[in-house]
């Protein structure tokens, strides 16, 4: 392909064919034909807002996909961006600082996102701060608040409390003044 002959600033990081982290490579979205990619790596631009990405979060799922522990079909190697879930950046139309989540499309220079998939970043947070809380706190919010209906003073057991989701769960449970019991994988993680 003629990647070096196309002027573009629309790139995404994707898996190499060997499914090894060292094989990750940048693809120019403009060089992948419309029948293969169109805007699928950046989302469908119709009825969405373009976000210029400044920071992307790395989550455990991305590591599992990139190392081949979670299988992906062969089409994921070129036709779509198969990794990257959370981002922080600026709306291209207003410049507003935002953070959001998409399905495996956020290791890119930009993403097209529905307005209900991102929110404003508080002024006292950096973009790196913002991107670090998205999947962890979303997981905890869904599990403890939405599903378990956590209430003040309850007893809670948190497995793998040293990990990202575990740390977020500890924080939320402390806020709710819960009686917290926690496990960690090793003595060093205590």
CATH of the domain at 78: 3.90.180.10
In the three-class reduction of DSSP (H, G, I as helix; E, B as strand; rest coil), residue 107 is classed as: coil
Residue 142 lies in a domain: no
Residue 143 lies in a domain: no
Residue 158 lies in a domain: yes
- Helical packing angle, 127-140 and 164-175, nearest 10°: 80
Transcribe 34-76 into DSSP letters.
Answer: TTTTTTTTT---TT-EEEEEEEEE--HHHHHHHTTSS---GGG
42-56, 101-115, 123-137: the lowest-pLDDT one: 42-56
The pTM for the full model equals: 0.77
pLDDT band at 35 (very low <50, low <70, confident <90, very high): very low
In the three-class reduction of DSSP (H, G, I as helix; E, B as strand; rest coil), residue 12 is classed as: strand
Give the structural domain span for 124: 3-134
Q: Which residue has the higher pLDDT, 153 or 6?
A: 153
Our count of domains for the chain comes to 2
Residue 178 lies in a domain: yes
Instruction: Give yes or no: residues 120 and 154 share one domain.
Output: no
């Amino acid at each position: 392909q003629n990647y070096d002959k196309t002027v573009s600033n629309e790139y995404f990081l994707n898996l190499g064919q060997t499914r090894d982290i060292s094989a990750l490579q940048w693809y120019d979205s403009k060089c992948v034909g419309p029948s293969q990619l169109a805007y699928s790596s950046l989302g469908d631009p119709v009825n969405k807002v373009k976000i210029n990405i400044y920071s992307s979060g790395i989550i455990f799922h991305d590591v599992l996909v990139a190392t081949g522990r979670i299988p992906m079909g062969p089409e994921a190697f070129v036709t779509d961006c198969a990794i990257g879930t959370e981002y922080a950046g600026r709306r291209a139309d207003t410049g507003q600082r935002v953070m959001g989540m998409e399905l495996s499309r956020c290791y890119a220079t930009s993403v097209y996102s529905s307005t209900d998939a991102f929110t404003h970043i508080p002024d006292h947070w950096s973009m790196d701060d913002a991107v670090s809380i998205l999947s962890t706190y979303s997981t905890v919010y869904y599990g403890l608040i939405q599903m378990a209906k956590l209430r003040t003073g309850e007893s809670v057991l948190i497995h793998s409390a040293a990990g990202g989701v575990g740390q977020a769960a500890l924080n939320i449970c402390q806020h709710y003044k819960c009686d917290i019991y926690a496990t960690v994988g090793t003595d060093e993680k205590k």
